[in-house]
């Protein structure tokens, strides 16, 4: 007997939907709403509403706790997604308040409501955060800790947002310009100490979330890069310095896209990280705690460095290396050595040599511009050439410096009874725009020119005049100096010289095209020279 004293069939006969559901469940088997929909042919919305009413009226019993199932949903071109499905099973009541079917407890409406009211999920979440005031947790960690208390993953943020509006908790996510999204493990949540002043409590809550993000950095590569960026900027502030993007590249050792994503997130997570642009082009980062005078001094130092490294003289010097390389490649069957450098922008044909002792300002390493090998004949040993270039005026000290790099390098030097010397089969080539015309060297009682002095050290001299002579033989009136001045980088130098070599009759038109294309570069270099 049920409410009102009638039987199941007496009550259900007035409602066709209920009648079909109760008829299907009369066999005593437990079914979910989907199985009932298939068995009755009814729609999902009608089934769900009818099941709820039948359970409330006592016609059916429902599982005490919902079933949890991980399912894969196919979404056509969008691929497949995984989701968690929660559902109840239903059986016919037959006048009972509860039954056990296949090890599961089925209860009526009154018992089901008592189970739901056995504890407050909201209170459990708040008490957990209050009892762990000294820590901050990701929402996923809160769920894992309270899973046995029947707290669902969807209950966490629903209640936390209400606590946030009440001023009880501090919630932190990944902040963009106009929104906040969760991290991989959810939002970071911590309780706000109500016994302290509001400003102090909020400051401590922020520090706890910082620590939570730092602790999880080892398992999250993005947050690990963010931590490295923050640590580097903070350390630089102590050293009264600012940090360039190139310096961070060395620290992070990741792709450009990964670096930019980490920089964006670092600025969002750590508002104290500030950015400035020098000459409206070069990005630098500093900590807001830096003294104003220290910051101004650091910026001036970086500006002077940029003028030196990014100015016209430096660009032309690198271009002269490419011009020398092109000249050698045209006149010899050279096999250039290549190396992969960690720093972006360094030509792969530049070679780093390990030194056995310091040479000048160099410590353990020295860079040479090019290295290549030539095999004169099938049975002859290969000859190794090492190139060093200097665009400006060359003096004796430059030649001595190059010779010392070769002989004290681990690769090209050798110990002999008469001291350290350059290995046989290794020839140094010094390329320069011009040599000091008054430069002479006194050897014993003899005075020799720089070229003769270099020859005694087995160093060959390559002048820009030699390259120009080769161009004129091919009908090219343009000089190497002009090509180096107008080209934006080493790659363009090679392209310009190659096009001039293949089409000498169009040389003026092509050089004018290159000059017009690089006008913005020339203007920037003039800006570097004038802003002093």
pLDDT at residue number 9: 47
CB 234 within 8 A of CB 210: no
Report the candidate in 266, 140, 171 with the shortest Cα–Cα distance to residue 214: 266
Kindly give the pairing relationship between strand 282-287 and strand 365-368: unpaired
Mean of the per-residue pLDDT values of the chain: 84
Specify the higher pLDDT residue, 36 or 452: 36
Average pLDDT over residues 29-46: 88
CB 30 within 8 A of CB 99: no
CA distances from 424 to 268, 365, 384, 402, 421 (A): 59, 22, 9, 16, 9
Q: Say if residue 237 is in the same domain as residue 184.
A: no
Confidence of residue 2 (pLDDT cuts 50, 70, 90): very low
Confidence of residue 5 (pLDDT cuts 50, 70, 90): very low
Confidence of residue 151 (pLDDT cuts 50, 70, 90): confident
Q: Residue 275: left (phi > 0), alpha (psi -120 to 50), or beta?
A: beta
Report the candidate in 428, 346, 332 with the shortest Cα–Cα distance to residue 388: 428
In three-state secondary structure terms, 148 is helix
CB 515 within 8 A of CB 505: no
Q: Say if residue 509 is in the same domain as residue 417.
A: yes
Residue 237's contacts (CB-CB under 8 Å, 6 or more residues apart) are: 286, 287, 289, 290
Q: Say if residue 132 is in the same domain as residue 110.
A: no
What does the alpha-carbon distance between residue 128 and residue 133 come to, in Å, rounded to a whole number?
A: 9
Report the candidate in 323, 354, 316 with the shortest Cα–Cα distance to residue 522: 316
Domain end call among 275, 291, 310: 310
Q: Say if residue 405 is in the same domain as residue 491.
A: yes
**What's the full length of the chain, in residues?**
532
What does the alpha-carbon distance between residue 97 and residue 55 come to, in Å, rounded to a whole number?
A: 11
Q: 85: number of CA atoms within 13 Å, CB side?
A: 13
Confidence of residue 309 (pLDDT cuts 50, 70, 90): low
What does the alpha-carbon distance between residue 443 and residue 279 come to, in Å, rounded to a whole number?
A: 49
Confidence of residue 192 (pLDDT cuts 50, 70, 90): very high
At 101, phi and psi to the nearest 5? -130, 120
Average pLDDT over residues 426-451: 81
Average pLDDT over residues 506-521: 90
Q: Say if residue 513 is in the same domain as residue 487.
A: yes
Q: Say if residue 306 is in the same domain as residue 316.
A: no
pLDDT at residue number 111: 81
Q: Is the pLDDT of residue 117 over 60?
A: no
Q: Say if residue 391 is in the same domain as residue 499.
A: yes
Q: Say if residue 462 is in the same domain as residue 432.
A: yes
CB atoms within 10 A of CB 407: 21
Report the candidate in 206, 220, 216 with the shortest Cα–Cα distance to residue 270: 206
Q: Is the pLDDT of residue 104 over 50?
A: yes
| Residue given tokens 């990014």 in the structure block | 310
Confidence of residue 219 (pLDDT cuts 50, 70, 90): low
Segment 101-105 long-range contacts (CB within 8 Å, at least 24 positions apart) = 101/30, 102/30, 104/30, 104/63, 104/64, 105/63, 105/64
Specify the higher pLDDT residue, 10 or 425: 425
Q: Is the pLDDT of residue 176 over 70?
A: no
The domain spanning residue 483 has which CATH number?
Answer: 3.40.1350.10
CB 42 within 8 A of CB 20: yes
What does the alpha-carbon distance between residue 478 and residue 480 come to, in Å, rounded to a whole number?
A: 7
Q: Say if residue 98 is in the same domain as residue 197.
A: no
Average pLDDT over residues 356-367: 86
pLDDT at residue number 511: 92
In three-state secondary structure terms, 79 is coil
Report the candidate in 355, 385, 386, 384 with the shortest Cα–Cα distance to residue 368: 386
pLDDT at residue number 116: 53
The domain spanning residue 222 has which CATH number?
Answer: 1.10.10
Q: Say if residue 410 is in the same domain as residue 449.
A: yes
In three-state secondary structure terms, 411 is coil
Report the candidate in 207, 219, 213 with the shortest Cα–Cα distance to residue 133: 207
CB 412 within 8 A of CB 386: yes
Average pLDDT over residues 352-360: 89
Specify the higher pLDDT residue, 462 or 70: 462
pLDDT at residue number 6: 44
Helix (H) / strand (E) containing 170? strand 169-172
Domain count, the chain: 4
Burial of 488 (C-beta count, 10 Å sphere; 0-12/13-18/19+): middle
Domain end call among 288, 310, 332: 310
Residue 240 tokens read as: 């009264």
Give the range among 311-315, 387-391, 468-472 with minimum mean pLDDT. 311-315
Q: Note the pLDDT tens digit of each residue in 16-26.
A: 888 888 888 88
Kindly give the pairing relationship between strand 80-87 and strand 180-181: unpaired
The domain spanning residue 148 has which CATH number?
Answer: 1.10.10.10
Average pLDDT over residues 423-439: 82
**Considering just the CA atoms, what is the radius of gyration of the chain in Å?**
39
256-269 helix and 221-238 helix, angle to the nearest 10 degrees: 70
Kindly give the pairing relationship between strand 188-191 and strand 169-172: antiparallel
Q: Say if residue 477 is in the same domain as residue 394.
A: yes
| Residue given tokens 């101004």 in the structure block | 296
Pseudo-torsion of CA 303, 307, 308, 314, nearest 10°? 150
Domain end call among 215, 242, 273: 215
In three-state secondary structure terms, 285 is strand
Q: Is the pLDDT of residue 183 over 60?
A: yes
pLDDT at residue number 160: 93
Q: Is the pLDDT of residue 474 over 70?
A: yes
Average pLDDT over residues 243-260: 86
Share of the chain above pLDDT 70, in %: 91
Q: Note the pLDDT tens digit of each residue in 317-330.
A: 888 888 888 888 88
Confidence of residue 171 (pLDDT cuts 50, 70, 90): very high
- Residue numbers of the domain that contains 247: 218-310
Q: Is the pLDDT of residue 164 over 90?
A: yes
Average pLDDT over residues 496-509: 91
Q: Note the pLDDT tens digit of each residue in 38-88.
A: 988 888 878 888 898 898 888 899 998 888 787 777 766 666 777 777 788
Please give the angle made by the CA atoms of 83, 88 and 92, to the nearest 5 degrees: 155
Q: Is the pLDDT of residue 12 over 50?
A: no
What does the alpha-carbon distance between residue 133 and residue 160 come to, in Å, rounded to a whole number?
A: 15
What does the alpha-carbon distance between residue 409 and residue 102 come to, in Å, rounded to a whole number?
A: 81
Q: Say if residue 410 is in the same domain as residue 293.
A: no
Report the candidate in 251, 258, 174 with the shortest Cα–Cα distance to residue 221: 258
Helix (H) / strand (E) containing 499? helix 490-502
CB atoms within 10 A of CB 46: 14
What does the alpha-carbon distance between residue 421 and residue 478 come to, in Å, rounded to a whole number?
A: 40
Residue 420's contacts (CB-CB under 8 Å, 6 or more residues apart) are: 407, 408, 413, 414
pLDDT at residue number 432: 84
CB atoms within 10 A of CB 328: 20
């Amino acid at each position: 007997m049920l409410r009102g004293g009638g039987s199941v069939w007496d009550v259900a006969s007035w409602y066709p939907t209920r009648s079909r559901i109760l008829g299907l469940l009369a066999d005593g088997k437990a079914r979910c709403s989907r199985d009932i929909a298939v068995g009755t042919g009814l729609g999902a919305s009608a089934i769900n509403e009818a099941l709820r009413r039948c359970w409330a009226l006592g016609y059916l019993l429902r599982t005490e706790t919902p079933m949890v199932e991980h399912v894969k949903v196919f979404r056509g071109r969008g691929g497949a997604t995984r989701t968690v499905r929660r559902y109840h099973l239903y059986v016919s009541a037959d006048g009972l308040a509860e039954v056990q079917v296949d090890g599961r407890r089925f209860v009526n409406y009154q018992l089901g409501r008592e189970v739901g009211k056995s504890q407050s999920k909201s209170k459990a979440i708040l008490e957990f955060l209050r009892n762990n005031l000294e820590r901050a947790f990701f929402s996923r960690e809160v769920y894992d800790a309270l899973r046995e208390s029947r707290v669902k993953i969807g209950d966490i943020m629903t209640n936390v947002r209400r606590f946030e509006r009440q001023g009880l908790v501090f919630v932190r996510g990944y902040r963009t310009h106009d929104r906040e999204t969760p991290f991989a493990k959810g939002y970071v949540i911590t309780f706000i100490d109500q016994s302290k002043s509001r400003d102090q409590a909020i400051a401590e809550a922020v520090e706890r979330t910082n620590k939570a993000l730092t602790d999880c950095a080892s398992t999250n590569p993005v947050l690990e890069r963010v931590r490295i960026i923050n640590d580097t900027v903070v350390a630089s502030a102590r050293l009264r310095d600012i940090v360039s993007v190139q310096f961070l590249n060395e620290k992070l050792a990741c792709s450009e896209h990964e670096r930019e994503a980490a920089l964006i997130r670092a600025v969002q997570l750590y508002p104290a990280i500030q950015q400035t642009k020098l000459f409206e082009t070069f990005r630098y980062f500093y900590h807001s705690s830096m003294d104003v005078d220290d910051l101004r001094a650091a910026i001036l130092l970086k500006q002077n460095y940029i003028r030196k490294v990014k100015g016209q003289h430096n660009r032309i010097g690198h271009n002269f290396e490419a011009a020398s390389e092109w000249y050698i490649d045209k006149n010899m069957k050279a096999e250039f050595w290549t190396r992969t450098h960690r720093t972006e922008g360094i030509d792969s044909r530049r070679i780093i040599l390990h030194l056995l002792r310091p040479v000048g300002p160099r410590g353990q390493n020295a860079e040479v511009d090019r290295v290549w090998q030539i095999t004169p004949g099938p049975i002859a040993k290969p000859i190794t050439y090492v190139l060093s270039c200097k665009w400006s005026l060359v003096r004796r000290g430059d030649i001595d410096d190059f010779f010392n790099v070769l002989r004290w390098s681990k690769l090209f030097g050798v110990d002999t009874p008469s001291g350290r010397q350059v290995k046989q089969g290794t020839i140094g080539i010094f390329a320069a725009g011009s040599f000091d015309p008054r430069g002479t060297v006194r050897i014993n009682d003899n005075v020799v020119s720089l070229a003769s002095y270099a020859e005694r050290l087995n160093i060959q001299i390559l002048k820009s005049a030699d390259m120009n002579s080769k161009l004129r033989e091919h009908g090219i009136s343009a000089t190497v100096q002009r090509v180096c001045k107008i080209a934006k980088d080493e790659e363009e130098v090679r392209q310009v010289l190659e096009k001039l070599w293949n089409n000498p009759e169009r040389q003026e038109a092509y050089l004018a095209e290159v000059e017009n294309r690089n006008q913005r570069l020339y203007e920037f270099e003039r800006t570097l020279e004038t802003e002093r």
